Structure 1
Amino acid sequence: MFKQYIGWKFILASMAVLIIGTTIWFVSNLSRNIQEEERKKVATWVEANRELLRASSEANLNLAVDIVTNNTTIPLILTDETGKILDSRNLDSNRIAQDSRFLASELQAFKKQHPPFIMEVDSKQKLYNYIYYGDSLILRQIRYYPYIQLIVVTLFIAIVLFALSSTNRATQNQVWVGLAKETAHQLGTPLSSMEAWLEILRDNEANASIVTELSKDVDRLKLITDRFSKIGSVPKLEEKDIVEQIQNMTNYIRKRSPQKVMLTVHSIEEELPAMISPPLFDWVVENLLKNALDAMEGKGKIDITIENHPTYITIDVADTGKGIPKLNFEKVFKPGFSTKKRGWGLGLSLAKRIIEEYHRGRLYVRSSELNKGTTFRILLRK
């Protein structure tokens, strides 16, 4: 049971989370250490300034000058007791010259980042200066690094998943096409034989009724073979009357449906031309009608509504069956998904592919309510 959850997706996601978590932990510790080192450097810089103010000895003075001048990375702002800015270091001089409010905004940011160092200027008059400092460029870069890495890893995972999904979809398509064409090929041989036997039966007038019914079945098998042979190849679209096409398929299904089921076609337009592949389009309508019949279990009503719009045509197939839960609106089109005991779950999947890939339209569940019915919509663009 547990093995079902250990797939390549789970392993890939776990590795990504582990890498990101480890990086964030490491960078957080590193940034804290660098921040502490910078605080010590600023403290040393403040102490060096105190030595310069005291000027107690030449040795201390030289050392203090070196310490003060060697700070080229940590930004500093010096203010008096009233908050007036007296000096600044390691800030963008061009910004300072161009924007009079730049130093003030940086000072506010520094106050939020770190507490100031207080330096006594005049012990007699009790005058003090305040040194505020911010994070260096390298510290800011280190802090942003894990988020940049997170974005990169996320993009990498997305690309890998997309590539694997595309490969999987392409493989599935090849299987579908191969299966469909092999089915058409296998049906071809017995069909040829059946047609030959029909010709023999036609020679005897006593077999007239049998020949008529057998011819219908053979024609039906030929239509099914033609449909399967078109899967995987670009079908030739023809201009056909949608209303007549749907009426013909509805009449075919009506003769084979229970007497307690009512099938009705509604259309304001008597003729409505559209570019379709007749065998494949009929297959889609047949699948939708058969699904509706299965959902109603022998009694109910199926309404097929055809509407003409400026740029598209809609065909709604509504039944009064048991309905579909909203969570399954997309699942019903996935291969293998079926609520029927003997269903293969291929009909709606093939129907969606025919409409969306071959006719550049859409097939989706427009609405459904449990124990009240479902409406499937076909949208064909003009």
Structure 2
Amino acid sequence: MIQQWLNWRTALTLFAVCIVTGTIFYSNYLSKKIGAEEKQKVETWVEAQKTILTATEQTDLNLAIRISTGNDDIPIIETNEKDSITNNYVNLDSAKVSADKSYLLQKLQEFKSVHPPIILPIPEKPNAENRYYYGESRLQKEVRYYPIVQLIIIGLFIIITVIAQRSRYQNTQNQVWAGLAKETAHQLGTPVTSLEGWVEVLRDIPGNEKLIGEIEKDVNRLKLISDRFGKIGSIPKLEERNLVEQITNMIDYIKKRASGKVQFTFNTNGETNIPAMVSPPLFDWVIENLLKNALDAMEGKGKIDVTVKDEVASVVIDVKDNGKGISKQNIAKVFKPGFTTKKRGWGLGLTLTQRIVEQYHKGKIFVKHSEIGKGTTFRIVLNK
């Protein structure tokens, strides 16, 4: 499916590039064609100016005047042979000319960079001439900038399409995750129920009291795991719980399964009750995953510090270990599915943790700090 999405995106990009490339060539062709026509218009306009300047009483000026006044789009500036502006110009903003003395000079430099001047010699003055510099009409500018506008539009279209496709792909992945989790919960349900029945059978046999207690703990653990998986994909019911109590229970649970060389500390800043809206089984899963990751990072010995702080608008939980740490290039990958530094593992624990915190509890989880050889601190922020 990922390969199909990449092929589709590549085809869309190539199609857009072909459209833009074709448009650029065609726009350049139109721009050159319009430029040639405008040059001819300016030359005709200059001839009309010449006719007006050299007219006698018998000259019919109607056509020349009509041509001279008919140019209402192409900007023109007249200079003398020394390129000094004669204050004869057309199709420029008169208000700007009056307000800014440098406006005409700026326009003249602009026109010089676009087209060479059309020169009109003055017969009665040897070595004298008028030079007419002209710029681009509005139409030519629009044609020239059209490919850029089109490129922006197509670029926006591609971005929106890719975002929509990625969102669709993400939704599909979410559905796969949810389906897999629910199927796991469903498959666990039957053997767990069977185990509960066998526990009741063993309970009736004298001498199994100690054994029954241990088996019940494991069965309850399986029920908890099944319940957690069953809640993935559906909106969990959040309840107000005391986080001090919730975290204490999970620390005690992990502590029993850790070696005696691991030291646990839990700092609540003197608070005994820090309420927050959580889904108890899913929140416990988050703390359990972080504590297990810390144990794995320390390889059997070290120190795990858990801190919970009640702030004005949020509750902040830090889980810190003094293990091997995470390299800078891997910090951005730790929450991605499949990423793991363990020899065994699916690399899904932190992905599920992030999903539970951010999607189901509308909070945040991130690596607050990590240093190779010194340890890592994960931070959870839950909004009140």
Q: Tell me the TM-score normalized by structure 1.
A: 0.89
Q: CA deviation at 1:54?
A: 2.9
8 Å CA contact retained: 2:111, 2:133: no
Q: Which residue of 2 aligns with 1:280?
A: 282
Q: CA deviation at 1:242?
A: 0.8
8 Å CA contact retained: 1:96, 1:102: no
Q: Compare 228-237 and 59-68 and name the one that shifted more.
A: 59-68
Unaligned 5+ runs, structure 2 = none
8 Å CA contact retained: 2:24, 2:147: yes
Q: Which residue of 2 aligns with 1:137?
A: 138
Write the distance in 1 (CA, Å) between the matches of 2:194 and 2:240.
34
8 Å CA contact retained: 2:262, 2:301: yes
- 1:314 paired residue among 313, 316, 319: 316
Q: Compare 142-151 and 325-334 and name the one that shifted more.
A: 325-334
- 1:112 paired residue among 110, 113, 128: 110
Alignment of 1:75-154 (within 5 A): 75-79=75-79, 83=84, 85-91=86-92, 96=94, 100-101=98-99, 105-106=103-104, 108-114=106-112, 115-121=116-122, 123-124=124-125, 128-154=129-155
Q: Which residue of 2 aligns with 1:294?
A: 296
Q: CA deviation at 1:342?
A: 1.8
Q: Which residue of 2 aligns with 1:44?
A: 44
Matched position secondary structure for 2:315: strand
Alignment of 1:215-234 (within 5 A): 215-234=216-235
Q: Compare 99-108 and 341-350 and name the one that shifted more.
A: 99-108
Alignment of 1:231-242 (within 5 A): 231-242=232-243
Question: Against the structure 1 CA distance between its residues 217 and 167, is the aligned structure 2 distance closer, same or farther, given a 3 Å change threshold?
Answer: same
Q: Compare 152-161 and 186-195 and name the one that shifted more.
A: 186-195
Q: Which residue of 1 aligns with 2:333?
A: 331
Q: CA deviation at 1:87?
A: 3.5
Q: Which residue of 1 aligns with 2:68?
A: 68
Q: Compare 60-69 and 283-292 and name the one that shifted more.
A: 60-69
Q: Which residue of 1 aligns with 2:7?
A: 7
8 Å CA contact retained: 2:77, 2:132: yes
Q: Which residue of 1 aligns with 2:158?
A: 157
Q: CA deviation at 1:353?
A: 0.8
Write the distance in 2 (CA, Å) between the matches of 1:324 and 1:13.
37
8 Å CA contact retained: 1:320, 1:372: yes
Q: AA paired with 1:333?
A: F
Write the distance in 2 (CA, Å) between the matches of 1:201 and 1:365.
47
Q: CA deviation at 1:355?
A: 0.6
Q: Do residues 187 (structure 1) and 188 (structure 2) align? A: yes
Q: CA deviation at 1:86?
A: 3.9
Q: AA paired with 1:166?
A: S
8 Å CA contact retained: 2:110, 2:135: no
8 Å CA contact retained: 2:97, 2:104: no
Write the distance in 2 (CA, Å) between the matches of 1:378 and 1:185.
30
Q: CA deviation at 1:173?
A: 1.0
Q: AA paired with 1:49?
A: Q
- Output one character per residue of 1:275-331: Cα deviation in whole Å (capped at 9) or x when no partner: 111100000000111111112222222111112211111111111222222232232
- 1:365 paired residue among 347, 364, 367: 367
Write the distance in 2 (CA, Å) between the matches of 1:14 and 1:190.
54
Q: CA deviation at 1:179?
A: 1.1
Unaligned 5+ runs, structure 1 = none
8 Å CA contact retained: 2:96, 2:103: no
Matched position secondary structure for 1:205: coil
Q: Tell me the TM-score normalized by structure 2.
A: 0.88
Q: CA deviation at 1:7?
A: 2.8
- Output one character per residue of 1:129-172: Cα deviation in whole Å (capped at 9) or x when no partner: 34232210101101211111111011101111111011111111
Write the distance in 2 (CA, Å) between the matches of 1:103 and 1:37.
31
Q: AA paired with 1:258?
A: S
Count of aligned pairs? 377
8 Å CA contact retained: 1:107, 1:132: no
- Output one character per residue of 1:82-104: Cα deviation in whole Å (capped at 9) or x when no partner: 8455443334xxx5368723796
8 Å CA contact retained: 2:97, 2:103: no
Write the distance in 1 (CA, Å) between the matches of 2:375 and 2:4.
35
Matched position secondary structure for 2:253: helix
Q: Compare 279-288 and 191-200 and name the one that shifted more.
A: 191-200
Question: Against the structure 1 CA distance between its residues 88 and 99, is the aligned structure 2 distance closer, same or farther, given a 3 Å change threshold?
Answer: closer
User: Could you tell me the percent identity over the aligned residues?
Assistant: 53
RMSD across aligned C-alpha pairs, in angstroms? 2.7
Q: Which residue of 2 aligns with 1:271?
A: 273
Q: Which residue of 2 aligns with 1:30?
A: 30
Q: AA paired with 2:320?
A: A
